[in-house]
Structure 1
């Protein structure tokens, strides 16, 4: 049999990498003889708000989850709490956390971690999956995670498990349209699904007019029951005021009555949380007279330590039967730009009356909360997720890679190999500017002031080869900072891509005799990129640059900035 041509082999590998099929390292190395090896990664948060507000023994910080962890939903089984968030085109999909006390959380990875069943390989970064709901059903001792998937014609899906720590079943496609689904189980075990949808055809009154629908849910067939759908909220609290984007509904039952809590106003400056009451899960629902119950929209835009955009909330009964809510919010930098994305915050809730009252939910939010009685703050210790200012060090010596490292549009395992020297990235022939899986190991930017540095052992073979650091809001807005080749010389280069247009900001020729260090340091809106050829003495590559393109204000979308270890065999960032 004739041997296939090399270009054919490369073409096959190119296709396989996008279909989530692992590619053998020995074959990839024919494309790049010596792939880059990264080691000694240090991420350090330096936000002034935490320096000015140190914790006392009975306090903890909110946000609980810093960086891009939006749209939180929470459930409980006994003393075990589970919380999920949106992930969009990040992989694995739907990050999930576990806690025993609502303060100390353990990262369990992602619910949707099988690329054969969830494959966002060709989606924009703000697509993929978002606005999950998670509910424990005591009647069959089963957890349900329900979410909208904007990939692979999946639509609304649900997955189940008896134990979230041991993985989840396969996605089940649900037969309804709309977004932001949540599932609720009544005292008699009967199931209901609520979600955001468009008004009935021909009845849309204005841009942003949405409705909340409810369906009965068959727990045996795991499907909504056809013909049971009903609109239970039209437009929002007061349709005459043309409210926009009633969404993210959650159903609760307390004291024999049913409560429907939703976000209203869009997920920006006007974001809020509102609540309705009914004698039946199918309505009619009457809005509370004190809506909104959570918002930050009434306060001066120049207030210090600003938290904004609060909403998209869920409520849980916590330790000592005290209620708490998790919700999204943002912390803009000094120029009002949102680089860290929408984060997961918490507030205590007083539900001693008819309606829940968010404690301090209608005043400017503060960075600290009182601990629940008897709880010890262990965040950042003993394997619990950190918050506040912290340092994360990674030498890639553990057999299990920290869940904070994620892929984009595909599994990280498709391009990484752990070696004795560190983490080897086997580069795809894909550029960071393409809407495809990239060979980039990402970490969420979790502070407005931070530094991220790495040691890189790498000698590029050609101008198509590049490895280094990427700061990314999406494929059309990013910075690439790395090592590449120009003719016979090696260069370190900094490229800015804004709205799809790329420009070389700075570049310089270097001699590589040993592994070098690369670092990006942000102080609010200012980002500085530097390198050290001897591993110690850093030199700035160019001057400080603006982080504007790493903000949702400029780049749009729903995610926060990511910083990643990047390698490509399709580089087009050419030194000057």
Structure 2
């Protein structure tokens, strides 16, 4: 897979973005859906077979679609950001004191009047952020490429990531994957991926790394200072592809440029260069790559693959660590959980850094940094490994793990005494528009996702239920709708043909159902095998549509860069007609 810069022009919707449910204007709808609870339970065998011992924690540290991590540090506080594409809010951000236990701070780009991905494909929106703390002015910088609203490359700043971020500042350069570096003298530099100079592209996937000087006082690049510092990759004669995700570091008076190389798939890797100046020249390390999983057997147990797109930080006790993306394919080599955030210690005792155990098959457990105590899943810290997440929708503030797509969740949700109310948009899940769907990332290859729904459709245009989604043309919908005078439960599969054209929609099953009382809907997966079911008595579940393949929920079939999302869905533009 490769990244291609696409800038979409979009109009501003005028919605306000909020951080909590109750801070919004109350929404009204002629026929809302009420979800009184939701439970997500992960049961991956790798965690059952490999329980934690004292002093250990699980890798990945962020399960599900949290790719392209970047990290920075101020004192004992670590902040990490990831790509979000068309999910909203943009650029999720996390905080830790020890690199083991992380809290979710929401999204950096949470104002839809400033960042509005309302008409972008799910794999567009915003991706590959960088985050850097500048000690010279005590300011954090988040820099990223936004594929909506004509924004392009932007930067936002704050003195305290706990208290929110300023408005986006548009930067006048092209390319993608920017990051910012501040030298010891306070001078700023931006590095990013770009196309070769016009007429000098040698092959498909030939890219360059470019550097600009950055004016810290005006927050602008200094025109005329741009320079190509890497052409193609480590060795241009070998036609390396997709050199990207650059980061600059300084150690012992020398400058280091670390990049991803090989594309964000099976040939992905991390490479490093060294120079005497932020503007080079940069010489590749003789030991490249310093992180990859590309050399190992495809059938290895508990496979982790696609490792790369990394960033380094000095951790506790001045020990270096690197965060990076990788995938955990299922038994059919599908990547339904998407690209996740992993971490490894880094040995920088020699001239060049090397990820410890990053050149052997990655394992599911790591030794914790000295002094850390594993509190994952406790005291507000995010869980990892196998866990159960229960949501009763009765808290004052909705958990940040619940997200919108192409727009804020607050535009269609409200709270009632019965639970979460979704006020349906006149938008179908197959449209490239904001949908009235509250999403949760699939975080395990084997999981159960169940919700209790109260909904009485008034016409065939009304539907509420669950969607398992990879993109607008690759998803399953199980929901309650109406045909004539009867209420039905229907299972619909939406998929692209091999050569993308019009989405093909199939009704896999439908059955009459009584909705006098709330019903339970469930999605269950065992690797590539997905089952959809319902219960009218709260305990006995009836399978709908037998077992189906999760192939369309994987990027290798559906395309793009995201993992599967599980959504609480309501629409007044339903086209899933019972048979």
On whether the aligned pair clears a TM of 0.5, the verdict is yes
Cα deviation, residue 537, structure 1: 1.4
Given candidates 563, 571, 574, the residue that maps to 2:574 is 571
Matches within 5 A, 1:163-562: 163-499=160-496, 500-562=503-565
SS in 2 for 1:240: helix
Aligned ranges 1:12-27 → 2 under 5 Å: 19-20=14-15
Distance in 2 (alpha carbons) for counterparts of 1:16 and 1:450: 38
Of 129, 148, 154, 1:157 maps to: 154
Aligned-partner Cα distance in 2 for 1:276–1:421: 58
- The residue number in structure 1 matching 2:58 is 61
Distance between the aligned counterparts of 2:357 and 2:383, measured in 1?
A: 24
Does residue 1:97 correspond to 2:94, yes or no?
yes
CA contact (8 A) 2:440 2:567 kept: yes
Q: Distance in 1 between matches of 2:164 and 2:350?
A: 38
1:6 aligned residue: none
Alpha-carbon separation, structure 1, partners of 2:84 and 2:231: 28
Selected match of 2:103 from 106, 109, 125: 106
Q: Deviations over 1:385-436 (max 9, x none)?
A: 1100000000000010000000000000000001110000000000000000
Q: What is residue 5 of structure 1 aligned with on the other side?
A: none
Structure 1's consecutive aligned runs of 4 or more residues displaced over 2 angstroms after TM superposition are: 15-26
1:21 Cα offset (Å): 5.8
Contact 2:11 2:149 in 1 (8 A): no
> For residues 52 and 455 of structure 1, what CA distance do their matches in structure 2 show?
32
Question: Unpaired runs of 5+ in structure 1?
Answer: 1-14
Residues 98 and 373 of structure 1: CA distance in aligned 2, closer, same or farther (over 3 Å): same
Alignment CA distance shift 1:487-1:106 (3 Å): same
Residue 309 of structure 2 aligns to a residue in which SS?
strand
Whole-Å Cα distance in 1 between the matches of residues 151 and 331 of structure 2? 40
On the 8 A contact 1:19/1:121 being kept in 2, the answer is: no
d(CA) in 1 for partners of 2:394 and 2:551?
35
Post-superposition shift, 1:20? 2.9
**2:188 & 2:106 partners in 1: Cα distance?**
27
Tell me the alpha carbon deviations over residues 19-57 of structure 1, each in whole angstroms, 9 at most, x when there is no partner: 53699656x42xx3x311001200000000000000011
Structure 2 residue corresponding to 1:116, chosen from 113, 119, 127: 113
Q: How do 1:129-144 and structure 2 match up within 5 A?
A: 129-144=126-141
Q: Structure 1 263/118 Cα, relative in aligned 2: closer, same or farther at 3 Å?
A: same
Q: Does the residue aligned with 1:549 lie in a helix, a strand or coil?
A: helix
Change (3 A) 1:169 1:16: closer
RMSD: 1.3
Residue deviations 1:277-319 (CA, integer Å, cap 9, x gap): 0000000000000000000000011111000000000000000
Q: Is the 8 A contact 1:493 1:507 kept in 2?
A: yes
Q: Is the 8 A contact 2:409 2:438 kept in 1?
A: yes
**1:313-338 alpha-carbon deviations (Å, 9 max, x no partner):** 00000001111000000000000011
Which stretch shifts more, 464-473 or 16-25?
16-25
Question: What is the TM-score normalised by the length of structure 2?
Answer: 0.95
1:478 CA drift (Å):
0.3
Unaligned stretches of 5+ residues in structure 2: 1-9, 18-23, 497-502
SS at match of 2:317: helix
- Superposed CA deviations along residues 521-543 of structure 1, whole A, max 9, x for unmatched, are 00000000010112221111120
Aligned to 1:72: 69
CA distances 1:253-290 after superposition (whole Å, capped 9, x unpaired): 00000000000000000000000000000000000000
Matches within 5 A, 1:32-43: 32=30, 34-43=31-40
